[in-house]
Structure 1
Amino acid sequence: MHDDTIALITFYSIKKMLESLSNKDIKEAMNNYSETLKDNTKIYSKDLIDTLFAYPYTKIESLEKTLQITRQTSSKYLKICEELKLLECVNVQKKEILYQCKAF
């Protein structure tokens, strides 16, 4: 999947999110995600939460670049978030795996 396809998916996801959620709902969801990560893991960071909510669909490479972390760390973060039911793995193509923020 090309980056422009991901951008298009993200655009429509954000549009849908903005139509259905208020700022209060988004802040509450972000707080819930923060608390879940703080209580259950050692990977909490405000930048991670901000990134998950800025990009409702993300992939390992995107998180790696945005947070300036290794691919291995990015993969670990996404897997942990998936195990905590914060993200859902979505197979788009055979080689492309996107992670969708479940708050949206």
Structure 2
Amino acid sequence: MRIFTITSIAALLLAGATSALAAGEDDYKAAYAAAEAANKQAASLRNQWTTTASTLAAAKKFADGGDFDKATASAKEAEALAKASIFQATSEKERWRDLEIR
């Protein structure tokens, strides 16, 4: 059984999130919408990370400044963080059963 840490999962997700080249406004909007959806799902599990919110805010700030490459990258990073928080919430919900009571 392979054990992943939250940091390693976030790193794997972020590896795919940083591959955008010359992103436009539509790319940013799609990435931001996906990040918001994942963040809402994390909220429904009561496991939103504060880093996700700050990364979403950074994405919006970059977009407001017209830097859609950085905005898209930040939005994808926020989505990866939200997905990692979802993974954390769901795995911890099940992992307690694996504990050995002594």
- Which TM-score band applies after superposition, normalised by the shorter structure? 0.3 to 0.5
Which has the higher Rg, Structure 1 or Structure 2?
A: 2
- State TM-score, norm by structure 2: 0.34
Q: Which has the higher helix share?
A: 2
Higher normalized contact order (CA 8 Å, seq sep 6+, divided by chain length): 2
> Which structure's residues are more often strand, by fraction?
1
